[in-house]
Structures are given as structure tokens and as C-alpha cells.
Chain A
């Protein structure tokens, strides 16, 4: 077990900077998930921790030791790769035991440890097979076994579930979670899948464009996104955003067709503000209800347990998620009820969260 300290870590290839100064502290035994869209630098960050990628600037320390100049094998990390990266010519047992063989562990002890790991992962009956003869889920488990057998200080996962089908992914997700609870080893898990991120993480790191956007528990990130990017990236369907402008006694939304009455809280008139509301926080009411917004239904997506209703709100697309048994026809009118406490406000220029508003219910413009 080990803590990881990341201080102002940068990565650039020639002229192109991929990671712009990341700071992160990972406590011993913590399961941290790095979430972000593809190309945001999350894998690069992980590979810098592993030692597969050189660090262009800043410092990474594992257990207080700066590892910038250390070879991967000296860092005490084990990694699970996206494509498993099993040695195709070795049997499962040889694959799992290879790192011990390299380290010069005697054959007898090696066999015992491979057996033990195989038992944990239920791979005992497959030990003599070649990776070619395994299913995706089994290969995934062999890759895990290869990481586990070294009893590393840190586990690194590079999108390990993205090559599995949906059902196996859910199963492996819970297995990884259980495994972590048992081994309690510090783990860093990179993914672009937010469900994976939310379910696995003790702490979630959302990255975008080579920068950390927000660090927090999954619940914190969901309920208080620190930026417009985090708000729209985490949660499905994505949070609705309505653009607005601060005027004399409130916020004028959608080019002035709707407005929110509220205290201006020091923002100058004319400031551009984005108002966000999660689809699951909107309630459907009868059209014309007092204090509700009237909209036209565009499309209904049936999810079984609930449905997503896409509506047209004065030209802007807006989605509502409901578990009620309502099935509005496309083209019909509905009313949308929004509570002020569910609203999020972001600066339109910088995208950062604004805490200054005390909003009231949006009213139709006069």
C-alpha cells in the first residue's frame, strides 16, 4: 500500500502539450478513477505514474519517493492494459508468473503463488491454456492476475473493461470492486465510461484538455459540478444548459423569452450566464400550470424503467427524464416544473460554477 503525490505534472510531445500541470494526492488504499473524454490526457497521466511515459515537468512521488527517474519495475506498480497485453506464446500460468520468473523467484514458490492467485480469480482450470483459447472475460482476469501476483504497492488500470461486452463489464466491475476491498491496495483506474467511474470510485478525478476539472466523491461531482464541462460530462442524459444574460432584476433566458427573477449578487448587467438543470430534476406537469414552463414534445425514448422526453423549449432542445408512467405524444404540449435548488449556474466565459444566485422559479417573460 502506498500513497501517490502528483505535483504540477506536465507532459508534452515536441510542441504539443498534452497534460498541463496536474496536482493530485491519492491516499493509501484509495480507489481513484480518472474520468474524461478521449484525448484529455488521462491515459498519459496514468502512464507517467507507471513509468512508461517520461515526465516533462513536475514530480510524481510514490510513498514519498520521487519516481520521475525510476524504471517501471522499480516503482512497485502493476498495470492492467486495455487490450490485456497477454504474452500469446505463454500459458495462463506462465503469463501470471512471468514477473516472478524475471525477479528470479524459484519455480516451486512461483507455482504456489500462481496457484493462489488463480484460485482468487477462479482461473485454476485454465492454467495450461494459451490466451488465444480464452474468452474476453477470462483474458481480463488473467491480466488482473498478472498484476496481482507481484503484490504491488499500486494498481493501475488503463480502461481495462472497454473491450468487454456490456454484461461482462458489469460483472468485472463488481469483481474489481470486491478485489479492491479485499486487497485494499491503492488503485488508479482510467476510463471514459461515467457509469464505471461513478460505481468504482472512492474519489473521482474529472479531466478535460489536459487539466483536472474537479476532484471529489462521485456524489459531490454529481450534485455540485465545479464547471460546465463536468456538469454536462457526468450524468446521462447530459445536463440541460440554458444560456442567459443578467439584467436589472434577474436573468433573462433563451434570448429573452423566459426569465428568472433573482438577486443579481454583484454581477454586472449584461454578464453571460449558463443555467443548468439535470433531466431527472425536471418534473412534468399539465401545460399551463402556474410556475411551469410550457414546451412541445419532440421525441420520447423508452428505457423500460423510465423514459427520456426530449422537448422543444422556445427553439432550444431540452430533455426530461421521468419514471412516471406518462407517454406524451410527439407534438403535444407539456409543462416543465423546475425547483430553484436543482439549478446550477456557470459563467458562460470561463465555465466555472457560480454560487452567487438565489434563483426563483423561472417565469414566462412579460
Chain B
């Protein structure tokens, strides 16, 4: 159908353009501010013409906040979360869609419930568990009296301790354990025709074989979309890394930006802060641009 609606076209494009300006403006200001020297950045109003100190500011920000190792940490955590999420989502959805076993609906609802419990809501118990992963098992031993028995018999006091504070697993695992990706995969698996499953059975492929040879290749676009979204989600985490990393060696880039923000009464080095911001938001930007085509396909289209 060809419609000629020039006025409507103009209005829609105008709205789009205004939206684009609103979205891009803060980013432009960050870029311009990061190119000013200390005096220009504190002018009111700040000049919107770029200054000449861009590389200097970037260099200062990089060394002041020690961004190299921080970016590496962020990259490891974000990649870990993205990969872990994709794997766990595909596996759980596979189990829920393709197998009939007792308690399946119950497990499905358990997973569903976690949607309503984001990390921020359960952050205290999650911290307690990460501080000592074996706490629940210790509790079981204590309540059942097994630890008492062991102590009586052998004289050894049972005290299980496996802490994940200041570690990559501690940063990654709590972010992986949520249900969003499972649902994305579940919806996708439900669109795969039963005949394909049956054809694989006739060809002699077992469940795992079918999963690896057929389901995973077919869900490549889903994988890309989910992976990208989770990468951004993990990269932008603030509260959780702040809480469990006390050691600088495991600090993440986003939380470390705080170091660049001028203290009250300190030198107002906003140009440096903006340069740091620019560095930290660049990797997710690159990922989004690179994966954009896949994200759109993975989220809207089923395979043709």
C-alpha cells in the first residue's frame, strides 16, 4: 500500500528529530566539556565550541582514576554476565519447553517469581550469601544437629566458609541469576515447529544433540540480543559492585568514576570527570553499534 501523507510524514519526522536531539544532547555536552580546559569548563554558560585540551584531559582522567585495570574488570564482569546469562537462559528454557517432569510448572513459577525480585530488592540476603556461599549449608547442618554430632564425635567444629567478596564470581553470579533471558528463550523455543523436533528424533539425535545442533544455531539472533543487553546491564551496574568490592583490584569502571567527580571545596575539574565518563561509556557504545542489527532481529523477528 502506498500512502501519500506529506503533512503526517513531516510531523512524525519532526517528533523523531526532537527525540534524537534530546537523546544526543547530553552526550554532545560530555564530548565538548571533556575538550575544555579548567577555566572554560567552569564558565557560565559553558562554551559549546570544543576546546583544545581533549587528549590531555583523557590522559589525566585515565591516570587519575587508574582506568586501565578498571575497564578490564568491567569487561570481564560484563562478558561473564552476558555469557552466563545466555547459557543459563537457554538451558532453563530448554528444560521447561521440551521436557515433561514432575514439578515442571512449579519450577517455571519459581523462575517467574524472580522477575519480581531484582537484585536491589534482595540485596541484603544476597550480600550475606556471597559473603559466605556455604551459609545455607551451615544452617542446615546446625539445625539438623549434624554439626553438633560431628563436634561430639571428632572434636572438630564445623564452620563452612567460602567468601566471594572482592572476586569475579561474586560480581558475576548474582547478576546472572534472574529470569528475563529464560522467558526470551522460552518464547523463541515455542515458535520452533514440533516437526523439527520430531525430525531430529527420527534422525536419532538425543535431547542434548538436538539442543546443540539445532536449537542453539537457530537461536543465534536471540543470543546476540540477550548477550548485548546483559553486557550493558552488567557494565552499568553501580550498587552491587560498590557493595561487594572493598579492594581496588576488583573495582569496576562505572563505580570508579566517582573518584573523578570533584569534591566540595576541591578543584572543580569537570573537564577531567567528563573525559573519564566518555572513556567509560565508549565500550558499551561500541558493542551496541556493532550488535545493533542482531538485537533488532533477535527481539522482533522469529526466523523469517
Contacts and interface: CB of A to CB of B under 8 A. Distances in A.
Contacts of A146: 199, 203
A356 interface: no
A81 B204 contact: no
A79 B199 contact: yes
Nearest to A158: B195
A79 to B, nearest CB: 5
Given A87-B213, A99-B202, 10 more contacts: A71-B201, A72-B201, A77-B202, A81-B198, A85-B193, A85-B198, A88-B218, A88-B304, A102-B205, A150-B203
Interface in A66-116: 71-73, 77-79, 81-83, 85-89, 98-99, 102-103
Interface in B168-216: 193, 195-196, 198-205, 209, 213-214
Interface of B: 193, 195-196, 198-205, 209, 213-214, 217-218, 303-304
A150 B213 CA distance: 19
B203 A99 contact: yes
Given A87-B214, A88-B303, A132-B304, A81 B201 contact: no
A50 interface: yes
Given A85-B193, A89-B217, A89-B218, A72 B202 contact: yes
Interface centre among B198, B203, B209, B217 (most CB of A within 10 A): B203
Contacts of A77: 202
A159 B11 CA distance: 53
Query: Size band of the A side of the interface?
Result: 20 to 34
Report the 4 A-B pairs with minimum CB-CB distance, sorted nearest first: A73-B204, A85-B195, A99-B203, A85-B199
Most buried by B among A85, A86, A132: A85
B199 A81 contact: yes
Contacts of A103: 204
Contacts of B209: 102
A219 interface: no
A52 interface: yes
Contacts of A50: 198, 202
A99 B213 CA distance: 12
Contacts of B203: 73, 98-99, 102, 146, 150
Given A73-B204, A102-B203, A83 B213 contact: no
B68 to A, nearest CB: 40
Contacts of B198: 50, 52, 79, 81, 85
A37 to B, nearest CB: 21
Given A88-B218, A88-B303, A102 B204 contact: yes
Contacts of B213: 87, 98, 102
A214 B193 CA distance: 34
Contacts of A51: 201
Nearest to A73: B204
Contacts of B218: 88-89
Contacts of A88: 218, 303-304
Contacts of A89: 214, 217-218
Interface of A: 50-52, 71-73, 77-79, 81-83, 85-89, 98-99, 102-103, 132, 146, 150
Contact of A83 (B193, B202, B214, B217): B193
A81 B303 contact: no
A82 B209 CA distance: 23
A72 B206 CA distance: 10
Nearest to B192: A88
A51 B203 CA distance: 12
Nearest to B304: A132
Contacts of A72: 201-202, 204
B303 A83 contact: no
A71 B203 CA distance: 11
B201 A73 contact: yes
A103 B201 CA distance: 12
A87 B202 contact: no
Nearest to B195: A85
Given A88-B218, A89-B218, A132-B304, A82 B204 contact: no
7 contacts: A79-B198, A86-B199, A87-B199, A89-B218, A99-B203, A102-B204, A150-B203
Contacts of B202: 50, 52, 72-73, 77-79, 99
Contact of A82 (B195, B214, B217, B304): B195
Contacts of A98: 203, 205, 213
A289 to B, nearest CB: 57
A77 B214 CA distance: 21
A51 B217 CA distance: 26
Nearest to A89: B217
Contacts of B217: 89
Contacts of B195: 81-83, 85
B103 to A, nearest CB: 20
- Looking at B195, B209, B214, B304, the one whose CB has the most chain A CB atoms below 10 A away is B195
Nearest to B210: A102
Most buried by A among B200, B204, B218: B204
A73 B199 CA distance: 11
A148 B15 CA distance: 59
Contacts of A86: 199
A51 B201 CA distance: 9
Nearest to B196: A85
A153 to B, nearest CB: 13
B200 to A, nearest CB: 8
A56 to B, nearest CB: 16
A71 B202 CA distance: 9
Contacts of B204: 72-73, 99, 102-103
A146 B202 CA distance: 10
A317 B196 CA distance: 46
A178 B213 CA distance: 33
A103 B205 CA distance: 8
Contacts of B199: 79, 81, 85-87, 146
Given A82-B195, A83-B193, A132-B304, A52 B201 contact: yes
